[in-house]
Chains A and B, each alone.
Chain A
């Protein structure tokens, strides 16, 4: 357990962005191996690895890969969700900046396994430098014959990669909204199964579509080179392999750490240099949408899907935020509520109206106008959003508030009664700069 660099193995290699250097370090070996296999064998290898989607939901990857119809009368597409918008998460940024070729390789493997005609890398608009790196990697891959017509001499294996930059919307990281945006529509979520066919049956332009996270494709590239079995040996029983965790907040060494699944939370915290400016107060382990964990709960959590879920939170996208005891959780939640209010697409009633209402209540409480019933009201409003909204954004807006009230109810009560921060005058104002440097990238 602990740090285990699979995807990051070559992170520090100078000029690893260059295709020649990348190839020297074993790059595109996974692809070469994959094209020597039957397409179904590639999918079976992914199945064997036990890889689960790294975007947040942890859905078994092979089911998606296997779900695309095997008749090819209409084109199939591969999409990479690189719209990394979850506050606290910046792993895809580093993967694309330094290891864009791994992503390109993984997407070509996916294209081969699903017989797709084209792939799209949907990158969030603010990620200009990562997009340039991906652009460079794609261009180099074309020159080497990894993309284009009859790839690696295989008759009929034609596959192109395109980059699409988002226009600044968190919602577009939701896979159906991403597809809307990719097709040039407003970035609103689309109907999901069972209301509409799965994307693997009818996705973009009503074609079968495979959509995965950057890290998932990178992991696929690694596992093809090293075998699904090798990957399955790592991690826990149901959470295989490694996960990149973006550590931020009050730690001495905030950075991306690739850890083996099942690493204890506190071990990672130590690796990141430990808490600075005080004692550990709380951790949000999986990005701002998941429930906050108290210091006591942190001792019990291992970083894998099952352990997190068992403790009432989620591993999510791996946006790990640690807070010291100068942190005012109520102010933190006010900032979080503001984020979701700002990012709600407005399509459905609960999210559009509810996120704004939550923010208004949080704003009222933290400006000294809290009412006695406000905590119950917050919980009720959250319950009216959670599970009722059109897509997961509403749930994601409600969970952190409910979680914070559950874990730190007395702080809310203190604010309402004394109209000031329970942490005292030198409380850390969770301004975006402090909570997470990435938040500054979101337009105000």
Chain B
């Protein structure tokens, strides 16, 4: 009962469907869900009720403060006659009830709206001509339709410093603020860092952080879009354009594997800002700061615009014709003695052409898109056992879990949008969250902030921790009775792992392990394993242990080991793996994986390495090996956007198109295939990676590869089983998750053996 969550104020959106009630809005009869707020009810009959502070995703506890949505409401008495309430009521918090009568356009309401707008504007600077929000501002719009023609206020307005740098990427114009509490509610309800709040009171009230500290959050950018006026502004977009000068293209964020739906706004072929695009299944309407502010590289002045050839250690520009001749010559000579690395940042089409070019034209299967530490294929682990890759759940399913186990993940940083779903499950659906990580995440926000149990374990002690949890589940009889899997062997293997023993091995208090197990016994339970697990030297064993936990608790569909880069999932689907072709068709003669490619190149055994869109030197766990390999390899090709460190070690650098300049598709961590469209073109000499492979293949052996993204996708749908029947067009605006029925599952218990580390 001491839980301080305001579950009673769950936003109307996605709330469980209630009974229907009959109400009358402006004389129109309509059936609406019981307790639905009247703004949404009115929308059903095409009646607009203006508002500022209301937001369907924010808790209603602090709504109804702008008073813009006042309507007249009548309730039927016991005898059935409707009595109008004496005061107008805020529609945004008024729950619909049987027989309710709502009037939104009476003279009284029209006057009230004028009054509210007059109040809001008396201290508003009315500097719309130089305000970024001008043209797309709810305050402007509502004033146009509902406001008074003039103001009767002749006193001095409130004054505050302009453009106060409230966050790294956000500036705050306090004079324009209308105190709607959207931003403060966002930090409390959605991101969970609760950093923004109100200081002072009455007319002096201001949005601020506690003690004027900087607002530091991974989600600060959202408040810019939430703000109904031009008070919270993007530092990078400020004064850059008028909204009506912008062109907008629907796209997908490339900064992590969540695949947030975004709109890229550009002007004169320059990307100016990124806004969230609604997709209930993925990001709802949120972005993280990395996604919102992290795409300036697209319009960077450092973009490569022509192929560069290195001779005597110096790059000089060459034409594409020259580049293709050189490539054809070198690759023909290398043949199967060549290798390709990368693909996690390329589209599915790029990847498909990449592997096709290497396998068909060059006859080499030395291909790998995985550049993390762990490069064994987990297909055996996940697909064979549970019938899926990466994530068992969709992102949206996470919000319906009763408990969520986040292990080895700085979730808000690695998978920000999944973090928001976990937070939503906690905040609005009452889920308990258990977090286990070896190094405490101190960034803001993080899962530890609201986890009911937070365990900081000794790195390497993942299996003892899981064994300890399983031990508690067995001894306290918390496991479901009817499971199709035989658990006797598993039970025996964890008998010795009492919480006390697990505590000694992991450094986590025994009580916490017990508490965690009890929390996780509440089903359905989902598990999300992060980078720490994925990059673990013993990934395979740990993944087996995680699988055991999920099988034992009857949650085998809810194990999630998400990919981390924008298209790591898609690259694998496309066959950018040494041992699998497109659609995970096993190969008879597997090629080398990334580590093996680099090792053999370092030994001077490879003639050509092609790196596409991967900053290998910068990010590989063994940069010395990469440098050595690229140095020893006679011909290294890198396709990149800018001159990265990896590119500078190449012999030939090709200018590649960014996601904003090409068509195609990405597959996110929940296996949702989503389309991107070309927004603009910086230079005709910048080519999409798939086009480079297509043109080169035609040049080398005259083979006819497709010359459009949609044609490539057609081929993908014919080759890659899970993509069967799809076209770029049919993906639609919110994408399609690929189905899993094609993969059979074994539900096998693997023994997870723990070898205690040797401690000095």
Contact = CB atoms under 8 A, between A and B. Distances in A.
Whether A associates with B in a native complex is yes
B202 A356 contact: yes
B116 interface: yes
A350 interface: yes
A284 B8 CA distance: 41
Contacts of A344: 201-203
B505 interface: no
A266 B179 CA distance: 46
A388 to B, nearest CB: 6
Contact of B88 (A191, A347, A357, A387): A387
A207 B62 CA distance: 19
B606 interface: no
Contacts of A389: 67
Contacts of A341: 202-203
Contacts of A364: 155
B66 A346 contact: no
Interface string A341-369: 11111111110111111001000100000
A186 B119 contact: no
Interface in A167-224: 169, 171, 186, 188, 190-191, 194-197, 202, 205-207
Nearest to B75: A194
Contact of B8 (A171, A206, A346, A348): A206
A186 B65 contact: no
B153 A348 contact: no
Nearest to B123: A353
Nearest to B116: A349
B86 interface: yes
Given A190-B61, A341-B202, A356-B203, A384 B197 contact: no
Which of B67, B87, B89 has the most chain A CB atoms closer than 10 A to its own CB?
B67
A352 B115 contact: no
Interface string A378-422: 001001100111100000000000000000000000000000000
Contacts of B62: 188, 347
A26 interface: no
A349 B155 CA distance: 18
Nearest to A169: B201
Contact of A349 (B65, B93, B95): B65
Nearest to B85: A194
A345 B2 CA distance: 27
A346 B93 contact: no
B90 to A, nearest CB: 7
A371 B155 CA distance: 12
A13 interface: no
Contacts of A197: 8
Contact of A195 (B2, B88, B94, B154): B94
Contacts, number: 118
B197 A186 contact: yes
A346 B94 contact: no
Contacts of B204: 346
A348 B93 contact: no
A434 B75 CA distance: 47
A437 interface: no
B118 interface: yes
A171 B75 CA distance: 29
A41 interface: no
B120 interface: yes
Interface in B95-152: 95, 97, 112, 115-116, 118-120, 122-123, 152
Range for the number of chain A residues in contact with chain B: 35 or more
Contacts of A348: 64-67
A388 B205 contact: no
B67 A186 contact: no
Contact of B61 (A74, A191, A342, A353): A191
A384 B109 CA distance: 11
Given A75-B1, A341-B203, A388-B67, A350 B116 contact: yes
Chain B's interface size range is 35 or more
A390 B120 contact: no
A388 B112 contact: yes
B200 interface: yes
A388 B70 contact: yes
A57 interface: no
Contacts of B178: 349
Interface string B571-599: 00000000000000000000000000000
Given A360-B155, A387-B86, A350 B202 contact: no
B112 A195 contact: no
A390 B198 CA distance: 17
A355 B203 contact: yes
A180 B620 CA distance: 52
Contacts of A352: 119, 179, 202-203, 205
Contacts of B153: 357
A342 B201 CA distance: 8
Given A186-B198, A346-B200, A353-B203, A196 B93 contact: yes
Nearest to A207: B1
Contact of A191 (B4, B64, B68, B205): B64
B196 to A, nearest CB: 12
A188 B200 CA distance: 12
Interface string B197-217: 110111111000000000000
B90 A195 contact: yes
B202 A342 contact: yes
B174 interface: no
B200 A390 contact: no
Contact of B65 (A194, A202, A347, A371): A347
Contacts of A390: 64-65, 67
B662 interface: no
B385 interface: no
Contacts of B88: 387-388
A347 B180 CA distance: 8
Nearest to B121: A353
Contacts of A353: 119-120, 122-123, 203
A74 B155 CA distance: 52
A128 interface: no
Nearest to B87: A387
A306 B416 CA distance: 60
Contacts of B95: 194-195
Given A191-B64, A390-B65, A390-B67, A346 B203 contact: yes
Contacts of B152: 373, 377, 380
A342 B205 CA distance: 11
B277 interface: no
B273 interface: no
Interface in B539-554: none
A251 B93 CA distance: 47
A72 to B, nearest CB: 12
Interface string A56-85: 000000000000000000110000000000
Nearest to A195: B93
A190 B61 CA distance: 7
For A171, A353, A389, the residue with the greatest tally of chain B CB atoms inside 10 Å of its CB is A353
A380 B115 CA distance: 9
B55 to A, nearest CB: 15
Given A190-B61, A205-B1, A341-B203, A346 B179 contact: yes
Contacts of A207: 1
B60 interface: yes
Contacts of B203: 341, 344, 346, 352-353, 355-356
Contacts of B67: 348-350, 388-390
Given A344-B203, A352-B202, 4 more contacts: A345-B202, A346-B205, A349-B67, A353-B120
18 contacts: A75-B1, A191-B60, A194-B95, A195-B64, A195-B89, A195-B90, A195-B94, A206-B8, A341-B202, A342-B202, A346-B204, A349-B116, A350-B115, A356-B202, A388-B70, A388-B88, A388-B115, A390-B65
Interface of A: 74-75, 169, 171, 186, 188, 190-191, 194-197, 202, 205-207, 341-350, 352-357, 360, 364, 371, 373, 377, 380, 383-384, 387-390
| Pairs A-B, 4 closest by C-beta atoms | A346-B205, A384-B115, A344-B202, A353-B119
